[in-house]
Amino acid sequence: MPRREDLESILVIGSGPIVIGQACEFDYSGTQACRVLREEGYRVVLVNSNPATIMTDPDFADATYVEPLDVEILTRIIERERPDAVLPTLGGQTALNLAMELVEAGTLDELGVELIGANAQAIATAEDREQFKAAMHEIGLATPASGIAHTLDEAMEVVERIGLPVVVRPAYILGGRGTGIAHTTEEFRRIARRGLDASPISEILIEKSIAGWKEYELEVMRDRADNCVVVCSIENLDPMGVHTGDSITVAPAQTLSDVEYQAMRDAAFACIRRVGVETGGSNVQFALDPSNGEMVIIEMNPRVSRSSALASKATGFPIAKIAARLAVGYTLDEIPNDITRKTPASFEPTIDYVVTKVPRWAFEKFPGIPAVLGTQMQSVGEAMAVGRTFPESLQKGLRSLEQGRFGLNCDPAERELDALSDAELLSRAAVATPDRPFQLEALLRRGVGVDRVHEATGVDPWFLDQMLLIVEEREHLASVGFEALSRADWRRAKRLGFSDAQLAYLWGVDEADVRARRLSLGVRPTFKTVDTCAAEFAAETPYHYSTYEEEDEVREGDRPKVVILGSGPNRIGQGIEFDYCCVHASFALREAGYETVMVNCNPETVSTDYDTSDRLYFEPLTHEDVMNVIEAERPVGVIVSLGGQTPLKLANTLPVELVCGTSPASIDAAEDRERWNALCARLEIPQPAGGTATTVEEALQVVERVGYPVLVRPSYVLGGRAMEIVYDEEGLRRAMEELAGFGSLGREGGLSAERPVLVDRFLEDATEVDVDAIRDRTGELLIGGVMEHVEEAGVHSGDSACTLPPHSLSPETILVIEDYTRRIADALEVCGLINVQYAVKANQVFVIEANPRASRTVPFVAKATGVPLAKIASRVMVGATLDELRAEGLLRDRVQGDHFAVKEAVLPWSRFPDVDSVLGPEMRSTGEVMGIDATFGLAFVKAQLAAGTKLPERGTVFLSLADRDKPLGARAARRFAELGFSIAATSGTAAFLEDQGIEVSTVVAKLGEASGHDAVELIASGKVDLVINSPRGRGPRADGAHIRAAAGAHGVPLLTTAAAGLAAANGLADWFHHEIRVRSLQEYHGGRGADQLSLPL
Amino acid sequence: MTVREASLVLADGTTFEGEAIGADPPSGVTTGEVVFNTVLTGYQEVITDPSYAGQIITFTYPHIGNYGVSPLDNEARRPHCRGVIVRDLARRRSNWRSDEDLDGFLRRHGIAGIAGVDTRRLTRHIREAGAMPGAFGTADRATLERAAKQEPGTDGRDLVREVTCAEPYTFRSPTAARGSASKRVVAYDFGIKTTILRHLGEIATVEVVPASTPASAVLERAPDGVFLSNGPGDPAAVAGVPEAIGELLGRVPVFGICLGHQLLATAIGGRTFKLPFGHHGGNHPVSRLSTGQVEITSQNHNYAVDEDSVAGVAEITHRNLNDGVVEGIRCRDVPAFGVQYHPEAGPGPHDARYLFALFDELMEAHR
């Protein structure tokens, strides 16, 4: 069946900001979909609120709306664009839910828009637990005993019937939010209540727990002609009970016989057919009783998912791309397999390697949250590794995480487990935590046998025995020793995935010596190809992984090569923004005639799509692995400054002549506090006073000089890891201990003369400003954008909203900022991107820090201004001048004047209900959104809406503010009152407001040690529509915590700074005077469509 | 377990390093035609498939033996292949169905193997150079190379003789539906797989006969249908059988699988030819031309039916979507059809099991 000719224009819905459970994988799927649909000649309209995505690059759609993913906004876009169809299956649960809302609102019918990819009935069958179970029983598939409840009473009845332990899952949620296992009635009540709250339709499924069973997933595709294929099977290392997003997973399934596998395959097909997914990809999850093979179906997602991104990368079969083609009418046999180019997509990939996915968590960012894994996903990113065997891929996967681990132990961090007795270790390993794989290895190394470990943990004996092979090899290596090791021994060690760093640790020698010795014996990696067919056919696509075998498959190239180092697994502070930069570099350099070589290990990303670069290496980003690629490819340059800290940290270990752009020495000069201070002094640029320290005493000396409060932070980290504002000696001592100790940071390197702590005077109430700029080799500087933060200095820039252009800075201040930026870039001899952060206090500009690399805001600036900064920077880094790029047309003037773009951070509070939702110097946001509109206020409100904070249009605003925030808070309150809102406040805040002549209709008790009850009761009563609560500037920040927790628990919009409160009030004022307008980036960038934004006066 | 270093040498002199697994052959040498199979699961079924007689099977998936072996998964009473080549043999098996590990199974059946081999390099080599004789074992390289060069390979050899049953026997399925026993199928055993017997057993009582059984002896059994089984080697080298099939055609419905399909084509005047790489996996897409439906199929064949050679006497019913090779034919004038691939699966996907029902319908229509 060929392409549908009755469609002309298709709306693709993206997945919005990166949140836990929904990350870059939907940028990957959406980007593929947009690409394919345009190749097929359709007009593509895209909506996604996330500016950091590659899909929202204006080149990927005909009309790109960076607008809130809200049904009202979507309706406006549909009315304006009149697409023939909506494709909602590539934008995660967000897009699927939005599509359902549009269907239910009748919008699609009314406007004659067809839902393609999945129909409403299929979505409902898969998503509604009750319907799903009934459907599965109808086709003879078993599900765990269960019941549905809409109230707590109903829930209690169900559990009475099926018995504990049970799993509670809310309906219509993503990433397992609100799910949990209950072993006791008390636990059950709590989890059930939370689940009912989390579900948008207040419905939970209560299911008999099958924790300990083996868990599998099949990625399935179906076309209009009812052809079905399995793309990939996945087996979880962690048994049932841990969310699959938090499990170590392995492809293909390892311990299923063909009889069992084929039965599962039949069941998956029966499931997709019964659910009624007519075209596209779905993933189906199964659990198997290891004692008798009894199989139950757990769930299915009628859309592409995180697992399908993993399956695509694991097999070379691009599920999203093919799903998009299937949605417009093709059948699988009509679509070619990109990798072989000769065979069709109607086949099942077979692989000749093992893929291991390892999640990465951010528990260190959320003190007080136990690092225990369960049915609710908590990881923020993942790494994937490819090896010929499971031990090799597991070790590669663990070192890909970049958490200071060299592999499966055999590194300094393993000593943490030494103090534990066998029994303690065994009982710890019985609980799923991020440390479990290391505990398993330690247990096996102590001689606790596979069977005992299996019994305690439920991890399959096959996996454990494979780990035991690593243990045994380690013992052998240790006993033979570095000097005496034979070539065969070296080879066996490398084939089991041992890194040079592990061997160096084991033998107590330098990694460089290990490498030298290994190379002298001729033990080098070979690169194999991911080809979908286990070498049965020739592969055209150079998608490689390293392993230690006899044959290398890297082909010669005919163009100069540039290696681009990616950013590794997503983490808070380093995510999709950097992938955007790397992908743009690849596009720009390919276009400029280079052969681009991408190295990365994050399966969610666009950068690890084999279509993005000329060559793809799925490898850990460590010195050893990167050098292997460099030696295999012999590039003319390596780009280290676009992937965040990950590649930057490697810059010094690579051949210096290969590093493109700004030299590693300059990167150091900006990072080395003393050299940086000297540079600022020489340039006469004011800085907050400060110094460096490696001990508490040194820190105290600095403070003696500069005074409190001070900002304390480690060097060489991103995302404000462990950054803190301290107000007194006690705080300082605590902060230094945390940094020096064996905490998460200690693990990442600890303190040393090379990595001191920076201690700087903290400027209270200053406005923070971010600048992204590019300097070329001739010294010309391009200011990409000057961004003014909404929250005051002290809130991490990644967690702060910011606006481009600035809305309150004077033109003079901006000129000063631009001038300082130029001077700094010149002094650092920057060639490429530089990001400089400033604090502006009383019209004086202080420089906080400069980073000669891509920053998190590069994609935002590019979308706000229409200037492709990352592409320009990558060209500049390989020698082009801004003048040349201007002549080429790549560099164009930035669009400005008729719109504001506001970036807002999205925080994971709903995942961690026990964490205080207050902003600080440590970044904790997982993602970002952009609001774009004619005024700052409108853009701000849109950004809030996009971030999930729907500001109220009427009702009561409740304020409880720290003293220093009261003046600003009063301005916000006055504005809200003018807009017709009632004001409620705690007594202290109320007194201040009343002094200012603002009427306060409700006053609740001042917050005391154990009080706050009144405020909490007020919020719980539903009488408050917006909470503005800022923490006190000094002392423990827990004062307002229960107010913020109450807002979170009852779904009341919450702003935690007075500045945001004022911005919201101003924004709402604008909002009330305007109709909601939407406009595409293409229009903004082309200066078109402005008439539609004219204000009705 | 101590490592026994071993090598694999192909007839063209290409050498691979590894270590010995499975049985210890006398003299430390195992020879055969080196082929590969890309299935991810089902190694036991592949190893016991008589179609691999004379061959050394390379598994492209690196971990083999993970789920052990089960007596339920044998495709024949013993393996007929000469040896196995793997990247990694599981030391510990894990699956409730298994009662033995693969290494023990190989030893018990006297099958030698070699592990630790860069099986991807080997597969790429065979893909380009074609399946070729080889020798592996703990013997020295020169001995192995000599053995590899002396090994005749499978071209032109009638390997069916080695695997067919000596005497006729009757197979009754314990799970067959009532009433199915009223039909009788005579199955020519060219190396028949147990899974095929199970499927046929669901629709009839199966009388399995040796490959040399003359048509008259078959007809004496008054069958409702005749089945032509899978089997090893070069179809052109199987003597006498096409003639027997020729006598049966038109008198009784005939269904052939794999070698049986090739022999059916030969019987109606068709020719077979050797494919450049062969088809060796459980993931081959086949189009059922009458519906356009795609089946994912299990395949293992180096030879295929030449389309032109059967033009006019048979229609093409199935085609491989990867390379267009004929995967199924139906005779125009007589009730007979065959498929090149393995609809019975074992191992492999179940997509094409309907073919057994079609055979049943064909028999029903000609009763």
pLDDT of B36 reads 95
**B124 interface with A at CB cutoff 8 Å:** yes
8-state DSSP, B333 = S
Contacts of A965 (CB under 8 A, 6+ apart): A1030, A1057, A1058
Nearest C-alpha of chain B: how many angstroms from A141? 17
For the segment A1022-1042, the average pLDDT, to the nearest whole number, is 72
Higher-confidence residue of A441 and A723: namely A441
Q: Write b or e for each residue in A286-295: b if 16 or more Cβ atoms lie within 10 A of its Cβ, otherwise e.
A: bbbebeebeb
CA-CA distances (angstroms) from residue A880 to A861, A869, A883, A891?
Answer: 21, 14, 8, 11
Helices A306-315 and A25-39: angle between axes, nearest 10 degrees: 70
Cβ <8 Å between A388 and B62: yes
Contacts of A369 (CB under 8 A, 6+ apart): A363, A912, A914, A915
Residue B87 — very low, low, confident or very high, per pLDDT cuts 50/70/90?
Answer: very high
Cβ <8 Å between B40 and A350: yes
Q: How far apart are the first and last CA of chain B?
A: 60
For the segment A845-855, the average pLDDT, to the nearest whole number, is 95
pLDDT of A744 reads 47
CA-based nearest residue in chain B for residue A337: B322
pLDDT of A174 reads 63
Mind listing the pLDDT tens digit for each residue in A990-1000?
999 999 999 99
**A522 interface with B at CB cutoff 8 Å:** no
Question: For residue A647, which of A598, A683, A608 has the smallest C-alpha distance?
Answer: A598
Question: For residue A235, which of A477, A459, A450 has the smallest C-alpha distance?
Answer: A459
- State the catalytic residues of B: 258, 342, 344
Instruction: Using the predicted structure, report yes or no on whether residue B157 has a pLDDT greater than 70.
Output: yes
Cis peptide before A805 (omega within 30 of 0): yes
Mind listing the pLDDT tens digit for each residue in A556-574?
999 999 999 999 999 999 9
Cβ <8 Å between B63 and A390: yes
Residue B222 — very low, low, confident or very high, per pLDDT cuts 50/70/90?
Answer: very high
Half-sphere exposure (Cβ direction) of A636: Cα atoms closer than 13 Å: 14
Mind listing the pLDDT tens digit for each residue in A409-428?
999 999 999 999 999 999 99
pLDDT of A743 reads 47
Residue A648 — very low, low, confident or very high, per pLDDT cuts 50/70/90?
Answer: very high
Question: For residue A279, which of A232, A336, A234, A319 has the smallest C-alpha distance?
Answer: A319
Nearest C-alpha of chain A: how many angstroms from B46? 11
Among A219, A234, A259, the strongest candidate for a mutation testing the B interface, having the largest count of B CBs within 10 A, is A259
Q: What percent of chain A has pLDDT over 90?
A: 76
**A461 interface with B at CB cutoff 8 Å:** yes
Residue B180 — very low, low, confident or very high, per pLDDT cuts 50/70/90?
Answer: low
Among A218, A219, A232, A258, the strongest candidate for a mutation testing the B interface, having the largest count of B CBs within 10 A, is A258
A·B CB contacts under 8 A: 174
Beta strands across the sheet bearing A982-986: A1002-1004, A982-986, A956-960, A1026-1029, A1054-1055
Instruction: Using the predicted structure, report yes or no on whether residue A624 has a pLDDT greater than 80.
Output: yes
Average pLDDT of the residues of chain A? 91
Instruction: Using the predicted structure, report yes or no on whether residue A1034 has a pLDDT greater than 70.
Output: no
Residue B16, strand partner residues: B8
What 3-state class would DSSP assign to A717? coil
Contacts of B350 in chain A (CB under 8 A): 262, 265-266
- Token representation of residue A639: 């780009």
Contacts of A536 in chain B (CB under 8 A): 36, 38, 60, 123, 127, 277, 280-281
Mind listing the pLDDT tens digit for each residue in A739-798?
776 444 445 555 565 678 889 898 888 899 999 999 999 999 999 999 999 988 888 888
- Token representation of residue A50: 């996330």
pLDDT of A957 reads 96
In sign, the C-alpha dihedral spanning A864, A865, A868, A870 is negative
Mind listing the pLDDT tens digit for each residue in B229-250?
999 988 988 889 999 999 999 9
Contacts of B345 in chain A (CB under 8 A): 262
Mind listing the pLDDT tens digit for each residue in A178-206?
788 898 999 999 999 999 988 888 999 89
Cβ <8 Å between A258 and B39: yes
CA-CA distances (angstroms) from residue A213 to A176, A378, A457, B186?
Answer: 18, 21, 11, 45
- Token representation of residue B324: 């267009």
Mind listing the pLDDT tens digit for each residue in B327-340?
999 999 999 999 99
Instruction: Using the predicted structure, report yes or no on whether residue A1093 has a pLDDT greater than 60.
Output: no
Whole-angstrom distance, CA of residue A64 vs CA of residue A1084? 10
Higher-confidence residue of A1087 and B176: namely A1087
pLDDT of A720 reads 65
Instruction: Using the predicted structure, report yes or no on whether residue A1009 has a pLDDT greater than 60.
Output: no
Mind listing the pLDDT tens digit for each residue in A18-75?
999 999 999 999 999 999 999 999 999 999 999 999 999 999 999 999 999 999 999 9
8-state DSSP, A793 = T
Whole-angstrom distance, CA of residue A315 vs CA of residue A252? 9
Contacts of A186 (CB under 8 A, 6+ apart): none
Contacts of B40 (CB under 8 A, 6+ apart): A233, A252, A253, A261, A350, A351, B61, B282
For the segment B88-117, the average pLDDT, to the nearest whole number, is 97
Mind listing the pLDDT tens digit for each residue in A483-529?
999 999 999 999 999 999 999 999 999 999 999 999 999 999 999 99
Average pLDDT of the residues of chain B? 94
Which of B39, B94, B119 is closest, CB to CB, to A255? B94
Instruction: Using the predicted structure, report yes or no on whether residue A1007 has a pLDDT greater than 60.
Output: no
For the segment A727-740, the average pLDDT, to the nearest whole number, is 83
Question: For residue B85, which of B111, B109, B114 has the smallest C-alpha distance?
Answer: B114
Give the other-Cβ count within 10 Å of B177's Cβ.
Answer: 9
Residues B286 and B352 sit within 8 Å (Cβ to Cβ): yes
Give the other-Cβ count within 10 Å of B199's Cβ.
Answer: 23
pLDDT of A791 reads 86
8-state DSSP, A22 = B
Whole-angstrom distance, CA of residue A343 vs CA of residue A709? 66
**A254 interface with B at CB cutoff 8 Å:** yes
Amino acid at A1016: V
Question: For residue A748, which of A509, A401, A1021, A1034 has the smallest C-alpha distance?
Answer: A401
Cβ <8 Å between B120 and A534: yes
Residues A661/A873/A638/A501 CA torsion (nearest 10 deg): 90
Residues B11 and B149 sit within 8 Å (Cβ to Cβ): yes
Higher-confidence residue of B361 and A673: namely B361
Q: Write b or e for each residue in A311-329: b if 16 or more Cβ atoms lie within 10 A of its Cβ, otherwise e.
A: bbbbbbbbbbbbbbbbbbb
Alpha helix stretches (DSSP H) within A662-708: 664-671, 673-683, 696-706
Residue A894 — very low, low, confident or very high, per pLDDT cuts 50/70/90?
Answer: confident
**A527 interface with B at CB cutoff 8 Å:** no
Half-sphere exposure (Cβ direction) of A772: Cα atoms closer than 13 Å: 25
Instruction: Using the predicted structure, report yes or no on whether residue A481 has a pLDDT greater than 70.
Output: yes
Residue A169 — very low, low, confident or very high, per pLDDT cuts 50/70/90?
Answer: confident
Residues A267 and A297 sit within 8 Å (Cβ to Cβ): yes
DSSP string computed for B100-168: B-HHHHHHHTT-EEEES--HHHHHHHHHHH-SEEEEEESS-HHHHHHHHHH---STT---HHHHS-SS-
Higher-confidence residue of A863 and A712: namely A863
Instruction: Using the predicted structure, report yes or no on whether residue A8 has a pLDDT greater than 90.
Output: yes
What phi and psi values does residue A608 have, to the nearest 5 degrees? -95, 20
pLDDT of B174 reads 75
Residue A782, strand partner residues: A774
Instruction: Using the predicted structure, report yes or no on whether residue A462 has a pLDDT greater than 90.
Output: yes
Whole-angstrom distance, CA of residue A364 vs CA of residue A722? 9
Cβ <8 Å between A343 and B321: yes
Mind listing the pLDDT tens digit for each residue in A924-967?
999 999 999 999 999 999 999 999 999 999 999 999 988 888 99
- The residue written with tokens 């000609």 in the block is B366
pTM for the full model?
0.94
Amino acid at A475: E
Whole-angstrom distance, CA of residue B192 vs CA of residue B210? 10
What phi and psi values does residue A148 have, to the nearest 5 degrees? -110, 145
Instruction: Using the predicted structure, report yes or no on whether residue A299 has a pLDDT greater than 70.
Output: yes
Higher-confidence residue of A579 and A1042: namely A579
- The residue written with tokens 């320009």 in the block is A872
Amino acid at A344: P
Residues A711/A716/A717/A720 CA torsion (nearest 10 deg): 20
CA-CA distances (angstroms) from residue B47 to A341, B31, B138, B148?
Answer: 32, 16, 21, 21
Residue A1094 — very low, low, confident or very high, per pLDDT cuts 50/70/90?
Answer: very low
Cβ <8 Å between A252 and B285: no
pLDDT of A719 reads 63
What 3-state class would DSSP assign to A249? strand
For the segment B172-190, the average pLDDT, to the nearest whole number, is 80
Burial (CB count within 10 angstroms: exposed 0-12, middle 13-18, buried 19+), residue A1008? exposed
DSSP string computed for A814-838: HHHHHHHHHHHHHHTT--EEEEEEE
Going by their DSSP bridges, the two strands B55-59 and B15-22 should be labelled as: unpaired
ipTM of the complex: 0.97
For the segment B275-302, the average pLDDT, to the nearest whole number, is 92
Instruction: Using the predicted structure, report yes or no on whether residue A1 has a pLDDT greater than 80.
Output: no
Instruction: Using the predicted structure, report yes or no on whether residue A129 has a pLDDT greater than 90.
Output: no
Half-sphere exposure (Cβ direction) of A385: Cα atoms closer than 13 Å: 28
